[in-house]
Amino acid sequence: MSIFDTEVMKGYIRMGNEGWKQGWHERNGGNLTYRMKASEVEDCRPYFYDHGAWVSLGMTVENLAGEYFMTTGTGKFFQNLVVSPELALGIAEINDKGDAYRLVWGLNDGKDRPTSEFPSHLLNHSVKKAANPDYRVIYHCHPVGVIALTFILPLDNKVFSRALWCTMTECPIIFPHGVAVIPWMMPGGLDIAKVTSGYMSEFDVAIWAHHGIFCAGTDFDNTFGLMHTVEKSAQIYLNILHSGKPILQTITDEYLLAIEKDFKITLNHEFLG
Ligand code: 13P
Ligand code: ZN
């Protein structure tokens, strides 16, 4: 047995590798965090080290006190998650005040650091957990289609939500609340973390202009699937534009409302009309 035989480790690495195969993670682009269940922590605990020093988070996330997070490391490449996972990712424990973390496994035996977007991930986890404790995954990547759209569409929640909803029929079902769009900001800090988490009480998808996407979900498959759906719709939208042909028909509001009724979902009606 090794830690890599645990289901949680297998699921995490598989998801990260799927993102790499999609082309969403050039170099060290993107990051993935997972709030572990108590049973998963116990599965991994035999492999923990106890030399990790507490590191201040520079903020307090009270409702994450005592939680354990799997996280990619800053500067680490997703392509290496399957090659050298003990270098590319780690497990961090949050202290009982929720204002510091320490590494308990991985990341080069604790010599390296969690992703520079750890503040954004933790604030998003905090907001999501408060709203629905089933949420456990925060995923950030750099997909071509959505990033391209942030150059040609107004950076507006309604415009982006409608563009994505009305391009592929499953979209309103997969993200009925739509998406939030955040104008360009400096990555890796507390400012962008606060703005992003401000949207996460309402949305599962936040788009960072000219940078990438943050998605939140309950498990690896659903979160990956959400990212995949958003990006696929963006790719179709771009292909339509590339064709240079006039749009003759689309998914109308009438169709959106019919989908809402049939699939028993609640669409964000602010984005209709
Ligand atoms: P990290 O290497 O620190 O995870 O940063 C990658 C990234 O995508 C920053 O937004
Ligand atoms: Zn990024």
Provide the CATH number for the domain around residue 19.
Answer: 3.40.225.10
221 has pLDDT over 90: yes
Q: How many domains is the chain built from?
A: 2
256 in the same domain as 151: yes
| Residue 10 falls inside a structural domain | yes
| Residue 253 falls inside a structural domain | yes
Q: Which of 116, 149, 178 is the last residue of a domain?
A: 116
Query: Residue 115: CB within 6 Å of ligand 1?
Result: yes
Q: 36 C-alpha to center of ligand 2: Å? A: 23
pLDDT 10s digits, 108-162? 999 999 999 999 999 999 999 999 999 999 999 999 999 999 999 999 999 999 9
Phi, psi of 68 (to 5 degrees): -115, 135
Q: Which of 101, 116, 131 is the last residue of a domain?
A: 116
What is the C-alpha to C-alpha distance for residues 174 and 164, in angstroms, rounded to an integer? 11
270 in the same domain as 165: yes
245 has pLDDT over 90: yes
| Owning domain of residue 182 | 140-273
| Residue 91 falls inside a structural domain | yes
95 in the same domain as 217: no
Q: 222 C-alpha to center of ligand 1: Å? A: 22
Q: What is the mean pLDDT of residues 221-225?
A: 99
149 in the same domain as 272: yes
| Residue 134 falls inside a structural domain | no
The ligand 1 atom at the shortest distance from the C-alpha of residue 73 is 4
pTM, rounded to two decimals: 0.98
Instruction: Identify the residue whose C-alpha is closest to ligand 1 atom 4.
Output: 115
| Residue 127 falls inside a structural domain | no
pLDDT 10s digits, 49-77? 999 999 999 999 999 999 999 999 999 99
In this prediction, residue 273 carries a pLDDT of 87
DSSP 179: -
| Residue 52 falls inside a structural domain | yes
Q: 120 C-alpha to center of ligand 1: Å? A: 11
Q: Which of 267, 250, 249, 248 is nearest to 258 (CA)?
A: 267
What is the C-alpha to C-alpha distance for residues 211 and 116, in angstroms, rounded to an integer? 14
Single-letter amino acid, residue 63:
N
What is the C-alpha to C-alpha distance for residues 250 and 269, in angstroms, rounded to an integer? 18
What is the C-alpha to C-alpha distance for residues 20 and 99, in angstroms, rounded to an integer? 32
109 in the same domain as 145: no
| Residue 261 falls inside a structural domain | yes
pLDDT 10s digits, 3-48? 999 999 999 999 999 999 999 999 999 999 999 999 999 999 999 9
| Residue 186 falls inside a structural domain | yes
What is the C-alpha to C-alpha distance for residues 48 and 184, in angstroms, rounded to an integer? 38
Q: Which residues pair with 214 in a beta bridge?
A: 140, 206
Residue with tokens 């415009």: 159
What is the C-alpha to C-alpha distance for residues 19 and 72, in angstroms, rounded to an integer? 13
Maximum CA pair distance of the chain? 63
